């Protein structure tokens, strides 16, 4: 410990000497030629003086470097000792320290608990949108991307789906260069506005026919808001990066089952209404209508 302190002192000293000599250099350069340089040979004397000063600075720099290399960096955090208390409020009662500490402890505890449970649940469902290849050999080969698909391929798919159902009509608009936003009118029941990214469905909003075609405003009616939520779940469920056309087609099949939104009763409770809503859920495999609470 003592040796360290000594070496620290030596290093600090060396830095001090270096600083003062550098100061001298700048001072003499700024003063330029002085009276005590004499009459003859002023320039030569000035230059030699400058050279002497610069060599001293060089030596000092070398000393500083040697001193610093002898120092060892301190292990871990500094023990500030009593100096830590300088930054703190002296009266403990003015701070609500204890209460805040307790709250933040409770909060962090709850966060840990919830995130553990959520992590556990999410792990069991493999709905992750990132497509990972797990084999080493395939890493060199470029993955078949469903995002960079030429626009006419998308057009063909959309028109194929259009022809699939007679009571479902599709109109396409392209406000964002390549990615289409399609409006699907399902009979006279509802209309869905679907935004694509390449061949993947990115966002769905379901509204009544009379409402605007804006993809960012939600529907005014509770029933369509519920159907929009359900369609987001279906969108994730039908996501198939290996067979994107099949995914979109299955999603459209599922959406088409909503043509009976108002007319068919729930399969489980055989009623039309449950908490004033018709059956807004369509089973993902069987396409049967269920209420939100009955599924």
Of 269, 294, 271, 270, which is closest to residue 282 (Cα–Cα)?
294
Q: Which of 277, 288, 292, 295 binds another protein (CB under 8 A)?
A: 277
Of 233, 245, 240, 249, which is closest to residue 131 (Cα–Cα)?
240
Cβ 291 to another protein, closest distance in Å?
12
Q: Which of 48, 147, 222, 287 binds another protein (CB under 8 A)?
A: 222
Does 166 bind another protein (CB under 8 A)? Our answer is no
Looking at beta carbons only, is 47 or 273 nearer to another protein? 273
What is the rounded radius of gyration, in angstroms, for the C-alpha atoms of the chain?
38
Q: 150 to each of 34, 88, 207, 243, how far by Cα in Å?
A: 80, 64, 30, 16
Looking at beta carbons only, is 223 or 248 nearer to another protein? 223
Of 164, 174, 167, 173, which is closest to residue 191 (Cα–Cα)?
167
What is the 3-state composition of the chain as percent helix, strand, coil, each rounded to the nearest 5?
Answer: 50, 15, 35
Residue 220 makes CB contacts below 8 A (sequence gap 6+) with 208, 211
Detail the DSSP E strand segments found in the chain. Answer: 168-176, 179-186, 190-197, 200-207, 281-282, 289-290
Q: Which of 262, 283, 287, 293 binds another protein (CB under 8 A)?
A: 262
Cβ 294 to another protein, closest distance in Å?
15
DSSP 130-160: ------SGGGSSPP--SSS--HHHHHHHHHH
Cβ 163 to another protein, closest distance in Å?
24
Q: Which of 11, 146, 158, 223 binds another protein (CB under 8 A)?
A: 223
Looking at beta carbons only, is 25 or 259 nearer to another protein? 259
Q: Which of 273, 283, 284, 287 binds another protein (CB under 8 A)?
A: 273
Q: Which of 77, 275, 285, 286 binds another protein (CB under 8 A)?
A: 275
Place of tokens 């505890």: 109
Q: 14 to each of 17, 28, 56, 219, how far by Cα in Å?
A: 5, 21, 12, 75
For the record, the structure tokens of 263 come out as: 């007319």
Report d(CA 232, CA 239) in Å as an integer: 11
Of 59, 30, 252, which is closest to residue 158 (Cα–Cα)?
252
Determine the interface stretch with another protein among 26-34, 62-70, 142-150, 218-226 (rule: CB under 8 A): 218-226
Looking at beta carbons only, is 114 or 262 nearer to another protein? 262
- Contact letters (x/-) for another protein, 177-216, by CB under 8 A? -----------xxx-----------------xxx------
Determine the interface stretch with another protein among 135-143, 144-152, 172-180, 260-268 (rule: CB under 8 A): 260-268
Looking at beta carbons only, is 64 or 223 nearer to another protein? 223
Count of chain residues binding another protein (CB under 8 A) = 21
Cβ 263 to another protein, closest distance in Å?
5
**Footprint on this chain of another protein (rule: CB under 8 A):** 188-190, 208-210, 221-224, 261-263, 265, 271-273, 275-278
């Amino acid at each position: 410990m003592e040796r360290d302190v000594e070496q620290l002192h030596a290093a600090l000293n060396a830095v001090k000497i270096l600083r003062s000599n550098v100061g001298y250099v700048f001072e003499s350069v700024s003063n330029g030629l002085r009276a005590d340089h004499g009459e003859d040979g002023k320039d030569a004397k000035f230059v030699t003086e400058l050279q002497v000063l610069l060599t001293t600075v060089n030596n000092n720099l070398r000393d500083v470097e040697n001193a610093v290399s002898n120092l060892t960096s301190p292990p871990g955090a500094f023990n500030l000792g009593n100096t830590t208390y300088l930054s703190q409020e002296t009266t403990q009662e003015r701070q609500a320290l204890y209460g805040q500490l307790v709250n933040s402890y409770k909060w962090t505890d709850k966060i840990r608990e919830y995130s553990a449970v959520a992590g556990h649940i999410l792990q069991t469902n493999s709905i992750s949108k990132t497509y990972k290849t797990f084999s080493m050999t395939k890493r060199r080969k470029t993955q078949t991307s469903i995002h960079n698909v030429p626009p006419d391929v998308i057009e063909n798919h959309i028109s194929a789906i259009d022809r699939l159902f007679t009571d479902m009509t599709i109109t396409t608009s392209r406000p964002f260069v390549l990615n289409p936003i399609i409006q699907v009118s399902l009979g006279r029941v509802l209309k869905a506005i679907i935004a694509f990214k390449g061949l993947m469905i990115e966002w769905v909003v379901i509204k009544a026919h009379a409402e605007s075609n804006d993809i960012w405003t939600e529907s005014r009616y509770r029933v369509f808001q519920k159907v929009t939520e359900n369609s987001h779940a279906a969108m994730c469920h039908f996501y198939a990066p290996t067979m994107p056309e099949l995914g979109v087609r299955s999603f459209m099949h599922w959406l088409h089952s909503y043509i009976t939104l108002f007319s068919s009763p729930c399969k489980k409770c055989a009623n039309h209404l449950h908490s004033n809503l018709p059956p807004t859920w369509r089973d993902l495999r069987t396409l049967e209508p269920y209420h939100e609470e009955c599924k």
